[in-house]
Amino acid sequence: MYRERASRLTGAVVWTNTPSPDGQGAVLPDGCMDLLWHDGRLLVAGPDTHAHPTTGPPTVWAGVRFAPGTAPALLGVPAHELRDRRVDLADLWPAAAVRRLTARVNAVEDPVRGLEELALRRAAETAPPDPLLGRLVAALDAGRPVSATADELGLGARQLHRRSLAAFGYGPKTLARILRLRRALDLARSGLPFAETAVRTGYADQPHMARDVKQLTGRALGDLLARG
Phi-psi region of 202 (alpha: psi -120 to 50; beta: other; left: phi over 0): left
SS (H, E, C) 86-119: EEEHHHCCCHHHHHHHHHHHHCCCCHHHHHHHHH
C-beta separation of 115 from 35 below 8 A: yes
Residues 99 and 173 in one domain: no
pLDDT in tens, the chain (228 residues): 889 999 999 999 999 988 766 656 788 999 999 999 999 999 999 999 999 887 667 788 999 999 999 999 999 999 999 999 999 999 999 999 999 999 999 999 999 999 999 999 999 999 988 899 999 999 999 999 999 999 999 999 999 999 999 999 999 999 999 999 999 999 999 999 999 999 999 999 999 999 999 999 999 999 999 876
Instruction: Based on the fold, state whether residues 41 and 119 are members of the same structural domain.
Output: yes
**What are the E-state strand segments in 58-194?**
61-66, 86-88
Using a 10 angstrom Cβ sphere, with 0-12 exposed, 13-18 middle and 19 or more buried, the burial of residue 20 is middle
Cα 103-84-163 angle, rounded to 5 deg: 100
Q: Among 37, 34, 16, which Cα is nearest to 103's?
A: 37
The verdict on 102 and 161 lying in the same domain is: no
Q: What angle separates helix 157-168 from helix 172-189, to the nearest 10 degrees?
A: 60
192 and 140 within one domain: yes
Residues 197-217: b if buried by 16+ CB within 10 A, e if exposed: bbeebbbeebeebbebbeebb
Q: Tell me the whole-structure pTM to 2 decimals.
A: 0.92
* End position of a domain, from candidates 125, 157, 185: 125
Nearest to 179 by CA among 45, 53, 64, 69: 69
Whether residues 117 and 135 fall in one domain:
no
Sign of CA dihedral 121, 113, 66, 131: negative
Among 104, 125, 146, where does a domain finish?
125
Based on the domain organization, do 82 and 28 belong to the same domain? yes
Say how many domains are in the chain: 2
**Same domain membership, residue 136 and residue 40:** no
Please check whether residues 201 and 173 belong to one and the same domain: yes
Residues 69 and 86 placed together within one structural domain of the fold: yes
Q: Which domain holds residue 171?
A: 131-226
Region for residue 143 given its phi and psi (left: phi exceeds 0; alpha: psi -120 to 50; beta: otherwise): left
